[in-house]
Amino acid sequence: MSAKTERLYYHDSYLLNFDAEVVDRTEFNGKPAVALTRSAFYPTSGGQPFDVGTLNAVPVLDVAVEGDVVLHVTETPIEAETVQGRVNWMRRFDHMRHHSGQHILTRAFIEVADAETIGFHLSENSVTIDLNRGDLTPAKIDAAEDLANQIVSENRPVWSWFPEPDELANLPLRKISEKVTGAVRVVDIGGFDLTACGGTHVAHTAEIGLIKVLRADKKADTTRIEFRCGDRALADYREKNNLLNDLAAQFTTGYANLPDVLGKLRDENKDLSRALKAAREQLMAYEVETLWNHAYSEGRTPTIIQQVFEDRPSNELQQLASQLTTNYRGVVVLLGLAGEKSHLVFARSEDVNLDVVPLLKQALSQLGSERGGGRPNLAQGGGVPATREQIEAVLSEIEF
Ligand SMILES: [Zn+2]
């Protein structure tokens, strides 16, 4: 691979336009890629994603680093010997704000909770740091957030430089990556946080805007903190504010009353469910009695209770059959449910000497179903479409 790329963003995060010479052409993940003498494009590294933009108006799709070389992956091959590079500012600035905000939040958690950052992730959808403690209280998290926002509002200057080895040895750095070989870049957030970092940062902390922690997920001895800075924090606030206002309007209350209103609704729902269950049980007891009376009056022995239903849960048929065969003696129950997923339940009381399983299998095979089975005193199955008339025909042919 070609010689080292001069990284313009090391010295100026705000430099977006640059000229450079092409020093190598290659492929990266099947796409054309070029290496340049110098570049303002940030390659994916240190938890921060790559910049986008253009080289000679050709879109840059990805920027990667291989050794000391920055590779620009482009939509179509770059033929020219020299290029004009343009870095997309919206994405760069968003990354600068979040990366700088991460330094501040990381230091704030050290100051407030003695919690060190062991991971950083920045993408379009989420920004997180992982802390090496699993016992952070909400109050500690709020305190770290307050401290971070104080540093933002003080508009402290941010500096980065490459110290000489003897200066570097005496700097109280928070972190120095073991992967770094050669010159180490140091970033100082206005005397608040000093660390080794190769990323892009704002020049003054007020540019970061609001730093907002969204949630803290504990995992054993670590905590993942999700946060947003600047425009992303505003967008999040707007979305949640609109959501709360909409919800409050739906329940014709103020948003502060929503926990009370929803709590009452949840309790009412529980009471209603209980009342509905009791009413259903009463109704079923009445239905069981009616089915028995109707069948018994026909005078057959054993008493055959045969009925086809529509539009009801199949487990209610099983409940009916169980209650009929428990409450009454000398009874055989043949119940069917018509519809897209037909269902048959056959049962008999303990005193009747009959195995209902073969009867059920025979009836199911007439309906075209092989799904069913059970015990000699209760069997069920179905699952295929069947009309009321089809099920009535099948039940009327059963003999024992
Ligand atoms: Zn950084």
Q: Which residues is 119 bridged to in the sheet?
A: 130
The domain 6-87: what is its CATH number? Answer: 2.40.30.130
241-276 burial: b if 16+ Cβ within 10 Å, else e? eeeeeeebeeeeeeeeeeeebeeeeeeeeeeeeeee
Edge-to-edge strand list for the sheet holding 343-348:
303-310, 331-338, 343-348, 378-382, 372-375
What percent of the chain is modeled with pLDDT above 70?
A: 98
Residue 161: the pLDDT is: 95
- 219 alpha carbon – ligand 1 mean position (Å): 25
CA angle at 159 for the pair 156 and 160, rounded to the nearest 5°: 155
User: What tokens does 19 get?
Assistant: 């000229």
Looking at the domain covering 283-396, what would its CATH class be?
Answer: alpha beta
- Over residues 256-284, the mean pLDDT reads 96
Q: Beta-strand (E) ranges in the chain?
A: 6-7, 17-28, 31-36, 38-39, 53-55, 58-66, 69-74, 82-87, 117-122, 127-131, 158-161, 186-189, 193-196, 211-219, 222-229, 303-310, 331-338, 343-348, 372-375, 378-382
Report the C-alpha gap between 337 and 344 in whole angstroms: 6
- Over residues 182-199, the mean pLDDT reads 92
Asked whether the domain spanning 93-249 has the same topology as the one spanning 6-87, the reply is no
- 100 alpha carbon – ligand 1 mean position (Å): 6
- Over residues 106-128, the mean pLDDT reads 94
Q: Which residues is 309 bridged to in the sheet?
A: 337
Report the C-alpha gap between 150 and 353 in whole angstroms: 84
- 125 alpha carbon – ligand 1 mean position (Å): 19
Report the C-alpha gap between 211 and 365 in whole angstroms: 67
Q: What is the pLDDT of residues 139-173, one digit of tens each?
A: 999 999 999 999 999 999 999 999 998 899 889 89
Decide if 154 contacts 190 (C-beta within 8 A).
yes
Q: Are strands 38-39 and 31-36 parallel, antiparallel or unpaired?
A: unpaired
Q: What is the pLDDT of residues 368-395, one digit of tens each?
A: 999 999 999 999 999 999 999 999 999 9
- 199 alpha carbon – ligand 1 mean position (Å): 5
CA angle at 129 for the pair 162 and 52, rounded to the nearest 5°: 65
Residue 243 vs residue 176, higher pLDDT: 243
pTM for this prediction: 0.76
- Over residues 225-250, the mean pLDDT reads 96
In the chain, count H helices and then E strands: 8, 20
- Over residues 326-355, the mean pLDDT reads 96
Residue 338: the pLDDT is: 97
Decide if 271 contacts 263 (C-beta within 8 A).
no
- 48 alpha carbon – ligand 1 mean position (Å): 9
Residue 2: the pLDDT is: 58
Is residue 302 reached through a cis peptide bond, with omega within 30 degrees of 0 on the bond before it? yes
Residue 157: the pLDDT is: 98
- 187 alpha carbon – ligand 1 mean position (Å): 7
Domain ranges of the chain: 6-87, 93-249, 283-396
Q: Answer whether residue 87 shows pLDDT above 90.
A: yes
- 92 alpha carbon – ligand 1 mean position (Å): 13
CA-closest candidate to residue 339, choices 291, 391, 398 = 391
- 27 alpha carbon – ligand 1 mean position (Å): 29
Residue 175: the pLDDT is: 72
pLDDT band of 300, cuts 50, 70, 90: confident
Fold of the 93-249 domain: Threonyl-tRNA Synthetase; Chain A, domain 2 (3.30.980)
Residue 178: the pLDDT is: 57
Q: Answer whether residue 95 shows pLDDT above 70.
A: yes
- 84 alpha carbon – ligand 1 mean position (Å): 27
Q: Is the dihedral of CA 53, 56, 57, 63 positive or negative?
A: negative
What percent of the chain is modeled with pLDDT above 90?
A: 90
Mean pLDDT computed over every residue of the chain: 94
